[in-house]
Amino acid sequence: MKTLDLGLNRLSTRKTAVLGVLMALQLILSRFSLSPTPMFRLSFTFVATVLMAIWVGPLWASAASALTDIIGTLMMGTPYFVGFTISAMLGAFIYGVFLYEQKPSVWRIIASQILVALIVNLVLNTLWLTLMYQTPFWALLPARGLKELISTPIQIIIVYIILKNSTVRNLGNRL
C-alpha cells in the first residue's frame, strides 16, 4: 500500500513518535502564554510547529497540526470551527515549505514568519471570526494587525535562536 497519493509517505517509528510528542508540546504550549502587558499575549505554539515542519516536512506537519487543532479546541471547550483547522494546516505547511531540508537562513525564517502572520493569523483567522460570530471584519483587523506587528519580530528572533542552537540541530540529525 502506498500513501503517495497525498505525498504523505510512510514515517519511521521514530519520526511517528517524535511527531506525537511534538503534538503534545503544541497542546501544552498553547495553554501557556507570556503577557508583559494585559492586552497582549504571546503563545509559543509556533515553536513546536516549526520543529515539526523542519523534522518531518510540510505535509506531515500540517496533518499533525490539524489534528492538534481539532483535539485542542474540543478538549478546552472553545467552539470548534473548520476554518481554524485550515489555518493550522496552512501555517505548518508554509513553515515546511520554507524550512524543511534547508539551511535555516535568516531570510527563510523571516519570510515564513511574515507569510504566516499575514495570511494565516491576520487575514484568515479574522475571516473565520467574522464568519463564526459576525464580528465585523474591518473593525477587527486593526487590533489584530497591531498584535501581529509586535509579535512577529519576537517570533522571528525566538525561531532564529532555537534553530541556531547546536543541541536542537543535533536532534534533527538523529532523526
Partner 1 sequence: MDKFIFGRYIPGDSWVHRMDPRSKMLLSFFFIFMIFFANNLLSYGLVFVVLFLAIMMARVSVGFLLKGLKPLLWLMVFTVLIQVFFGAGGEVYWSWWTLQITHDGLISAAFILLRFLAIIMMSTILTLTTKPLQIADGVESLLKPLKVIHFPVETLALMLSLALRFVPTLMDEAQKIMDAQRARGVDFGSGGIKQQVKTVVPLLIPLFMNAFNRAEDIATAMDARGYRDGKNRTKYRELIWQRRDTISSLIFVLSGIILFLIRN
Neighbour count for residue 15 (Cβ, 10 Å)? 15
146 is a site residue for partner 1 (CB under 8 A): no
Query: Rounded to an integer, what distance in angstroms lies between the CA atom of residue 11 and that of residue 19?
Result: 10
Q: How many residues bind partner 1 (CB under 8 A)?
A: 65
Part of the chain binding partner 1 (CB under 8 A), chosen from 11-19, 93-101, 107-115, 116-124: 11-19
User: Which DSSP string corresponds to 87-141?
Assistant: HHHHHHHHHHHHHTTS---HHHHHHHHHHIIIIIIIIIHHHHHHHHH---HHHHH
**CB closer to partner 1 out of 120 and 162:** 162
Grid cell at residue 5 = 497519493
User: Which residues, other chains included, contact 19 with Cβ-Cβ below 8 Å and sequence gap of 6+?
Assistant: 11, 52, 55, 56, 60, 64
**CB closer to partner 1 out of 106 and 154:** 154
* Helices 13-30 and 45-56, axial angle in degrees (round to 10): 160
Of the candidate residues 86, 114, 118, 171, the single one contacting partner 1 (CB under 8 A): 171
Binding mask 100-139 for partner 1 (x = CB under 8 A): -----------------------------x--xxxxx--x
Binding site for partner 1 (CB under 8 A): 1-6, 8, 10-14, 16-28, 31-32, 34, 36, 44, 47, 51, 63-64, 67-68, 70-71, 73-81, 129, 132-136, 139-140, 154, 157-158, 161-162, 165, 167-168, 171, 174
